Structure 1
Amino acid sequence: MKRFSVIGAGKVGRVLAQRFHVSAAFQMQQILNRTLPSAQQACAFAGAGTAVADWAQLTPADVWMLAVGDDHLAAVCQQLVKQDVLQPGNVVFHCSGSKASTELQAATAAGVAVASVHPVRSFANPALVAADFSGTICSIEGDALALDVLSPALQSAGATLVQISAANKLLYHAGSVFASNYLVTLIEVALQTYAAAGIPPQQALAMAAPLARQSLENALTMGCAAALTGPIARGDLETVSRQQAAVQCWNRDTGELYRSFIPLTRQLASKRHHSEK
């Protein structure tokens, strides 16, 4: 069984480490975090591994996961290479959605196979994700050797794999941002707009929740064009114009956001109308 170590076990790192351990895909070895208590908590979550908080304590492993922030990937990889624990045939992979495996150039120069693995999930609640990981789509790209090692390990952990192009990582991840991060921001904007209209917070949430849930469910099951409702879908463009002006008067940024949705929503509405002819 290949030895597996982790650098930067935050939410994503902890979940993947736990799934690899439970499925016996790899043998957990070390988890390096900024602080020892944090590394110890990550080991406890994973159910295995030795916690370390000093680069000098790292020992050789066959597979390394770098689950650190995007902006730190290159520097962390360089630091790992400096520790002289990597050997030809090892695998180093990161978990960034936006950056490709080419970010690990220092490992490549050291003769190590590299890859990126990005689980398409929200990790706001790591325990819930770990318990319900089966079927999670993970996008992968990288060296053939790295993918040969990681693909069966991820599948045994319950992942469904989608291979993507390194050149398309930013665009691919933008899709995930729209589907997750910006969707959350949009709900917050809706709640703030209700508040500006004098609706109390709890009442605003009670109003927004069923609309958001049903609209999302309709879009996913019926298709986005068929799921579209509201003034643009009805062709009430005068209402849209007056509403945009009211929102702009209240909050400029929110007004511009509302404006930016108008042409895209009109395009979507035209698809629905065309299909009904």
Structure 2
Amino acid sequence: MEVNAAGGASVAVVGTGRVGTAMARILSSRGYRVAWVYDPSPDSRERAARLSGAEVADDPVDAARDAGLVLITTPDDSIASVCERIASSGEDRTGQVFVHMSGSLGLAALEPVARAGAEVACIHPLQTFADLEGAIEALPGSSFGVTCPPGLEKWARGFVADLDGTVMLIDEADRVLYHSAAVIASNLMAMVEYGAQVLFRTLGFTDRESGNALAPLIGATAANVERLGAVGALTGPLVRGDLGTILSHLEALDRLDPELCDMYRAVSLWGLRVVEERGDLEPEVVREMRDLLER
């Protein structure tokens, strides 16, 4: 089915949070005919309609009725129930493609509309969306975790190509691990950076000031990971085996914020796996660091 050309089959977006609204806007700007948007929040769906030129539907069944492509971009816990609601209309969904954009859920969440005749796929943008403007800017060119039946793979690749994206084929059984990797790389990294900002607050810096100072460091680290891989990108006292420096960090952090000290210990203990994989330090030095971090 062709759904990726101006004048072709129409698109419906069900769920107009940051991802859904960004998708509606981007697809509309790239020749897709975004016809309908739906969200329980009137403000959210009206905003998506303004940005994409779509009509506002009062119900997900109405939004999906005549669309060739239906994007389900609701919160994860709502995807299956939304699909069940659409399927309960009893309408034949043959000829339609339903796509959800969850990272962890698989095709099973789309089973109700699949039973009604629709083709189904999971296409998750491997990207972070802190706000709508950032989502619209960041989504094109991202990698996308794709799970779909073999017969729909060609279409899915074309859809991702229209977003200037890269396809990562993910088996149904592996989606939770795939999404866990994404959470570690993005969400947990932000939590770690929060720890750094907490320390800068004690030094008298605002979050904006420390954010500006840390951004080049974070960016350079990300660039090193891209160029060298995480193992090659790791630097600092752990890689050098600087026991005295690590001890001073632990003592200072424990006095200031024991929970932050625990985080430092846990992440550093994980980092010892990187140190061991690199093989730059003598095993005895690694053992001493482990003993220090586990005290």
TM-score bin (small chain): 0.7 to 0.9
For the 8 Å contact 1:20–1:154, the answer to whether it is kept is no
SS of the residue aligned with 1:174?
helix
For the 8 Å contact 1:55–1:83, the answer to whether it is kept is no
For the 8 Å contact 2:127–2:138, the answer to whether it is kept is no
Aligned partner letter, 2:69: V
Alpha-carbon separation, structure 2, partners of 1:238 and 1:188: 25
Aligned partner letter, 1:11: R
**Which residue is equivalent to 1:51?**
56
**Which residue is equivalent to 1:150?**
156
Alpha-carbon separation, structure 2, partners of 1:206 and 1:113: 46
**Which residue is equivalent to 2:276?**
270
User: Per chain length, whose mean CA-contact separation is higher, i.e. which structure has more relative contact order (CA < 8 Å, sep 6+)?
Assistant: 1
**Which residue is equivalent to 1:41?**
47
Matched, 1:140 2:146: yes
Matched, 1:219 2:221: no
Deviation digits for residues 88-146 of structure 1, max 9, x if unmatched? Answer: 23221101011112111212222322111101122224334434644221111123444
CA shift in 2, pair 1:153/1:55, >3 Å = closer
Alpha-carbon separation, structure 2, partners of 1:238 and 1:149: 57
Please say which of residues 156-165 and 173-182 is displaced more in the overlay: 156-165
Pick the aligned partner of 1:31 from 24, 28, 37.
Answer: 37
Pick the aligned partner of 1:253 from 259, 265, 280.
Answer: 259
Deviation at 1:233, TM superposition (A): 1.6
Alpha-carbon separation, structure 2, partners of 1:206 and 1:156: 34
CA shift in 2, pair 1:261/1:63, >3 Å = same
Query: Which stretches in structure 1 are left out of the alignment for 5+ residues?
Result: none
Deviation digits for residues 28-77 of structure 1, max 9, x if unmatched? Answer: 2211111333212101222x211123346443322211100011111111
Q: Tell me the C-alpha RMSD between the 2 structures.
A: 2.5
SS of the residue aligned with 2:130?
coil
Matched, 1:12 2:19: yes
CA shift in 2, pair 1:173/1:141, >3 Å = same
Aligned partner letter, 1:237: L
TM-score normalised to structure 1 length: 0.86
Alpha-carbon separation, structure 1, partners of 2:212 and 2:165: 35
Deviation digits for residues 168-208 of structure 1, max 9, x if unmatched? Answer: 11111111111111111111111102334x34225544543
Map 1:66-215 onto structure 2 (within 5 A). Answer: 66-131=72-137, 133-196=139-202, 198-201=203-206, 204-205=210-211, 207-215=213-221
Alpha-carbon separation, structure 1, partners of 2:59 and 2:245: 61
For the 8 Å contact 1:31–1:50, the answer to whether it is kept is yes
Alpha-carbon separation, structure 2, partners of 1:19 and 1:237: 51
Please say which of residues 68-77 and 56-65 is displaced more in the overlay: 56-65
Alpha-carbon separation, structure 2, partners of 1:13 and 1:190: 32
For the 8 Å contact 2:127–2:139, the answer to whether it is kept is no
Question: Aligned pairs, how many?
Answer: 273
Aligned partner letter, 2:113: A
SS of the residue aligned with 1:180?
helix
Alpha-carbon separation, structure 2, partners of 1:148 and 1:207: 44
CA shift in 2, pair 1:210/1:134, >3 Å = closer
Alpha-carbon separation, structure 2, partners of 1:150 and 1:226: 34
Matched, 1:21 2:28: yes
Query: Which stretches in structure 2 are left out of the alignment for 5+ residues?
Result: 1-7, 282-295
What fraction of aligned residue pairs are identical, expressed as a percent?
22
SS of the residue aligned with 1:31?
strand
Alpha-carbon separation, structure 2, partners of 1:158 and 1:209: 26
Alpha-carbon separation, structure 2, partners of 1:146 and 1:110: 17
**Which residue is equivalent to 2:10?**
3
